[in-house]
Amino acid sequence: MVEAILRSTLGARTTIMAALSYLSVLCFVPLLVDRDDEFVYFHAKQGLVIWIWGVLALFALHVPVLGKWIFGFSSMGVLVFSLLGLVSVVFQRAWKLPVVSWVADRI
């Protein structure tokens, strides 16, 4: 994982808002509230990509035979990337998660 260098105050509010980014639909809170803070906005965009991935995984359940497998692997991926994002916030780092950051940069 590559680490981005971002400007931020890194106070308690910033850490909480960045952590909300990786908690499912709560990714919209920092995305809408703290657009000025680069650290929070970076994590909010990655959290949004992970959330979209989770929503798309639900649609995989409608695919016969392989749907449950696709959903299971996707759910595991969403969980792992969300935990990695939360660890990144706790350590006050901006880790670029593989594939997720590539998509987030294009948003």
Query: Which residue matches tokens 């006050």?
Result: 92
Summarize the confidence of residues 85-106 as an average pLDDT: 90
Looking at residue 6, its pLDDT comes to 63
Looking at residue 86, its pLDDT comes to 94
Query: By three-state DSSP, how is residue 4 classified?
Result: coil
Model confidence at 8: pLDDT above 70 = no
pLDDT in tens, 16-67: 999 999 998 988 998 888 888 888 999 999 999 999 999 999 998 898 889 9
Structural tokens at position 80 = 């792992």
Query: By three-state DSSP, how is residue 95 classified?
Result: strand
Higher pLDDT, 3 or 94: 94
Provide, rounded to the nearest whole percent, the portion of the chain with pLDDT above 90: 47
Kind of pairing between the strands at 95-96 and 2-3: antiparallel
Structural tokens at position 41 = 């906005």
Model confidence at 9: pLDDT above 90 = no
Domain ranges of the chain: 9-105
Looking at residue 13, its pLDDT comes to 86
- What global pTM score does this model have? 0.86
